[in-house]
Structures are given as C-alpha cells and as structure tokens.
Amino acid sequence: LPLVVKGFEMEITPASRIVAQIGETLILTCNTTGCASPSFSWRTQMDNPLGGTVNNHRTYSTLTMNPVSIVNSHDYLCTVFCGAKEKKEKSIKVELYSFPSDPIIEISPSLVAGERVTVICKIPDVYPSDHLEVLLKKEEHVLHMENFYEDDSTNTETKTVTYSFNPTAEDIGKEITCVAKLPIANMDFEPKERVTSQKLNANFGPQNTIITASPGNLPMEGDSLKLTCVTESNPPPQIVWRKHLADESIQHLTENNVLSIPHARFTDSGQYICEVINLVTNKTEKATVDIVIQDGPKNTMISVIPATAVKEGETVMMKCTSSGNPAPVISWKKKNATGQSEKIFKDATLTIQNIQSQDLGLYECEAYNQFGKEEKAVKLLVQVPPQNITVLVYPSENVKEGENVTIICSTYSNPPSQMVLKKLHQEKEIILPSVNGTFILYNVTKNDTGRYLLDVFNEVGNNIKVIEIAVVGRLEKPDQMIPLIIAFSCVTAVAVPVVAILIYVSRKAKINGSYSLVKALRLKV
C-alpha cells in the first residue's frame, strides 16, 4: 500500500481565474505536497474536450494549450488522488479575449482632391466583439462612432467600420485616426485600446510641369548640359525623356527626372520632351525645351555646279555651306592679280552667268559668326577654245629654193593649245606637230610649194588657218650640204632627239637632195 503522508495538500496555478489571449500559449499547473505518489486527472465542467495536452510528473501535472483557442473557454478541474482514500480537487476559470493588433486604415478609392472617398477601418481577429467600440477622427474632430454591442459572434472576427465623406483641399495632409477599444469589466489585459493614424494624402497631377536647363538652353559645344524635369504629382510620376529628330521621328532617351549630357555636341541641338505620367490619376503632362548648342563655323564646304572647269559662256553656281550656331554668315572673296583677296559677294550661293576668261581664279568662301570663322577655297577654271590666232611667215610666203621658211603661230586659249601643220594634196598626208607654235622649213625646194593647214586645238575647240607657200627660182649659194629640216623652237624639250634627227637627216640629204626630214617624220592620217 502507498504510504500516506500527513498534510496532503494541492494547488493550481497560475490562479483560480486566468485571462488568456486567443492564439497565445497557456500552461495550467496542478501541484501537490504531502503525498509521495499522487495521481492526477484533468477535466472540464460539462466534460467538454480539454483542448490541450496533459503531462504528469512526480508531484505535479501540467495542461498545455498551444495555441489557446475558443474551445478553451472553460472551468478546468484538477483532481489529485493520494492513495485509495485521499482525494482533492481545485478548479481554474479560463477567460478568453482577442485583440492582437492595431486597426488597419484603407482609403478607397485612392484619394483624389474633390472626389468622395470612403475610409475603412478594420480591427483584425477581435473577441468578444460585443464589447468593441470604434471611433473615427480627422485630427481631433470626430467623424464617426460605432459599437458592436449587439454582435453575437462566438469566435474571433475582423470587424470593419466604414465612413464616406467629401474631402476639401484643406483636408490634404490631415490625419485620419481609428481608435478601437475592447473594455471588458473584470478582465485584466492590456492593451484595451489600439490606435492607427494615416494622413489624407490626395493623389493629384501631374501639373505645372517645367524643364530647367543648366547652364541654360544655349550652351557652348563641349559644355556639360543637365536637363531637369520638375512637376507636381502624387504619387510620384513616371518620367520619360524623348527628343525630336530631324526626320520628325521621336528618340527615346531615358526614364529619369534628370537627363545629363556630359559633353554637348552640335548634334545634341533640338527639342527635348519630358513626359510625366501619374499611373494612379491616369493623367499625362508634357513639357518641352529647345536646346541650341552654340559653336563657331565648322564643316565648311563648297560645291560647284556643273564643275570647277567650265566652258566660256556657261553659267556657274558655287554654293558654300557651313555648320555652326548662330548660323554663320557667308561671304565670297576672290584673289586679284596682286594676290590680295577682295570681297565680291555676301550670300551662300555665288552665281556667275555667261562666264568669261577674266572670271577664272581662286574663290574663297568665308563662314563667320561671333565664335569664330572658317574659310574654304576653290579654283575656277574657264576653258576657252583657241582664238585671236596670229600667223607670221618669214621671210614671206614667196621664197626661193634653198631658203629657210619660219612659221610662227600665236593664240589665246585655256587649256593651252596644241598645233600641227599639214601639207595638203599629197599622196600621203604629212602631219607635223609643234611645240611653242614655231615651225621652220629648212632649204625648201619647189616640192615644198603648196597649201598648208595650221590646226590649233585644245579640249574645248579648234581653229584652222591656211598658209600658201610658193617656192620659185633658186638661191645663189656655194654648193654645200643643206638638209631640209622641220624643227621645234622648244629646244629644252627636244634637244636630244633633234640632235639624232639632224645626224640622220644630214646623211639622207646627201642622197635625196631635199625634204628628207618630212619623209622621215611622215605620219599617216
């Protein structure tokens, strides 16, 4: 038999009455003294389920509720047996509540100034709700009061209080406060009041959107340029930067309120667009700024139509283009005979109609603005066919056998002319070229009598002169070997070939008498 110890007692903790919050952990302990081997049992009044876990130890027993739920709202009875005859019982009352968190405020729809809004205050997982009192305030002004005294909920519930009103512009920034109270008499728990506040933060805009440019909208090339898009909007808007291109298309740049260009270039000039989008108010606003990068003239170019080399009488158009900002002023100069430049025209396009030879020369285009100048030059050539031809025959067109005949031709042309002398009415036509316009017929004979054509030509035209040579009688001279030679006056250009030709012709002259060089230089046409 178990030994009965005198003074057998028991107690239950934490007390005869406990207030517990639903969702937390509660441990009830049943202790004994004066009994070596007690036995324990737990039950509820009305014999409902315990809703917890029993753990028996040598001299005490625990009932653990983890978590505490609505089923634990009972009087719990702990019974202790010490031997067969000793028995003791004590009870503990578990009272429940749930007030776990502060209220939640929602404003629906998103607040827009001037439009009616609804303020919703939610009190999560409250129990018992028939004690709940809710107060809605704007600053210190009470908007709405509501209680749930008639509520018959038997478990935790989220309770909602709703209030609608028309906010004024003065209401923006003021605080809406929801005060929830759960005053239950004789229940010792804290807190019994929970408070949440939220500012009336109206959604608006975008509006009054502007772009600021630093250092300004007329920076110099190479400067650092910063464009800032400033707007009024709540919530903060989405910002997109774009730029109008020359072909009327739009270039997407960045999505930030600041657009930075570290080293501005002339090509950065143009219209920039800041587009501001408020996704809540579904409104969009744009601002634009024209940026003009300033610089001295550059990329100066001259175009000539139809070409830099034209025929006399044609029309020439020379156009000068230059980039720079402000737009460069264009003027034309021409170098005179002394090498000095004279201003002749002030415009981008210089047109010369019925061009003449005196119009050829070096033309200079000058592009100028306040930040500098740049010059480009073009050489204009006027092509003139042979003209003003003068032919001199020395000693005359009528000579005696054995004499020398010199034919000198002078002309004006551009480019310089070439000249050839032809003798007509021969079985094989002889064509003799010339350098510097001089022909010499040495030791002429009657065979040299006839008509000669002098053809003067260049790339743009030609002119022909006819010369009649008559060889009569014989020049009285000692017998000697006189070769017939046609030579050129440009000694430096033909010195070596002429020496060779002279030796060759001299030998032939001894055999054939005259006109041998002509045969030697015979060219078929």
Distance (Å, whole) CA 11 – CA 91: 9
Could you tell me how far CA 106 lies from the centroid of its own chain?
Answer: 43
- Domain residues for the domain of 130 are 104-202
Distance (Å, whole) CA 105 – CA 447: 131
The last residue of a domain, from among 160, 182, 202:
202
- Beta-carbon contacts of 499 under 8 Å, excluding residues fewer than 6 positions away, are none
Give the model's pLDDT for residue 224.
92
Residue 237: its H or E element: none
Give the model's pLDDT for residue 524.
30
Could you tell me if 112 and 195 lie in one domain? yes
Count the neighbouring beta carbons within 10 Å of the beta carbon of residue 79. 17
Task: Identify whether 490 is part of a domain.
Answer: no
Task: Identify whether 134 is part of a domain.
Answer: yes
pLDDT bin (cut points 50, 70, 90) of residue 511 is very low
Q: Which of 286-300, 334-348, 411-425 has the lowest mean pLDDT?
A: 334-348
Whether residue 506 has pLDDT greater than 80:
no
Whether residue 211 has pLDDT greater than 70:
yes
Give the model's pLDDT for residue 93.
92
Average of per-residue pLDDT values in the chain: 83
Nearest to 401 by CA among 484, 467, 466: 484
Task: Identify whether 420 is part of a domain.
Answer: yes
Task: Identify whether 266 is part of a domain.
Answer: yes
Tokens 């030679």 -> residue: 485
Whether residue 326 has pLDDT greater than 80:
yes
Give the model's pLDDT for residue 488.
32
Mean pLDDT over 33-42 rounds to 91
pLDDT bin (cut points 50, 70, 90) of residue 127 is very high
Count the neighbouring beta carbons within 10 Å of the beta carbon of residue 66. 12
Whether residue 431 has pLDDT greater than 80:
no
Residue 77 is part of a domain; what is its CATH number? 2.60.40.10
The last residue of a domain, from among 275, 291, 307:
291
Could you tell me if 275 and 345 lie in one domain? no
**pTM beyond cutoff 0.85:** no
Tell me the torsion sign for CA atoms 203, 204, 206, 208.
negative
Mean pLDDT over 208-231 rounds to 92
Distance (Å, whole) CA 291 – CA 214: 11
The last residue of a domain, from among 346, 380, 414:
380
Could you tell me if 366 and 424 lie in one domain? no
Could you tell me if 287 and 338 lie in one domain? no
- Beta-carbon contacts of 519 under 8 Å, excluding residues fewer than 6 positions away, are 512
Give the model's pLDDT for residue 110.
58
Could you tell me if 370 and 439 lie in one domain? no
**Edge-to-edge strand ranges of the sheet holding 17-21:** 17-21, 86-97, 75-82, 39-44
Whether residue 476 has pLDDT greater than 80:
no
Nearest to 213 by CA among 263, 285, 256, 272: 272
Per-residue pLDDT tens for 149-195?
999 888 999 999 999 988 776 777 889 999 999 998 888 888 899 99
Q: Which comes out higher in pLDDT, residue 345 or 61?
A: 61
Per-residue pLDDT tens for 246-270?
777 778 888 889 999 999 988 888 9
Count the neighbouring beta carbons within 10 Å of the beta carbon of residue 497. 10
Could you tell me if 179 and 264 lie in one domain? no
User: By 3-state DSSP, what share of the chain in percent is helix, strand and coil, each rounded to 5?
Assistant: 10, 55, 35
Got the DSSP string for 135-187?
Answer: EEEETTEEEEEEE-TT---SS-EEEEEEEEE---GGGTTPEEEEEEE---TT-
Could you tell me if 181 and 257 lie in one domain? no
Give the model's pLDDT for residue 493.
31
Q: What angle do CA 81, 84, 87 make, to 5 degrees?
A: 35
Half-sphere exposure in the Cβ direction for 465 (13 Å, CA): 21
Q: Which comes out higher in pLDDT, residue 354 or 170?
A: 354
Nearest to 423 by CA among 457, 385, 462, 469: 469
What is the tally of structural domains in the chain? 5
Q: Which comes out higher in pLDDT, residue 523 or 3?
A: 3
Could you tell me if 139 and 195 lie in one domain? yes
Task: Identify whether 395 is part of a domain.
Answer: yes
Got the DSSP string for 366-405?
Answer: EEEETTEEEEEEEEEEEEEEEEEEEEEEES-SEEEET--E
Could you tell me if 179 and 119 lie in one domain? yes
Give the model's pLDDT for residue 496.
31
Could you tell me if 341 and 369 lie in one domain? yes
Could you tell me if 147 and 178 lie in one domain? yes
Give the model's pLDDT for residue 447.
86
Strand 461-474 and strand 398-401: pairing? parallel
What are the tokens at 446?
Answer: 């009657």
Task: Identify whether 479 is part of a domain.
Answer: no
Is the Cβ–Cβ distance between 377 and 365 less than 8 Å?
Answer: yes
Mean pLDDT over 496-501 rounds to 33
Give the model's pLDDT for residue 112.
59
Give the model's pLDDT for residue 509.
34
pLDDT bin (cut points 50, 70, 90) of residue 126 is very high
Distance (Å, whole) CA 395 – CA 406: 7
Tokens 């009569």 -> residue: 472
Per-residue pLDDT tens for 459-470?
889 999 999 999
Mean pLDDT over 64-90 rounds to 91
Got the DSSP string for 36-86?
Answer: SS-EEEEEEGGG----SEEEE-SSEEEEEESS--GGG-SEEEEEEEETTTE
Any idea what DSSP says for residue 14?
A: S
Whether residue 2 has pLDDT greater than 90:
no
Which of the residue ranges 251-255, 287-291, 311-315 has the most confident prediction, judged by mean pLDDT?
287-291
Could you tell me if 29 and 93 lie in one domain? yes
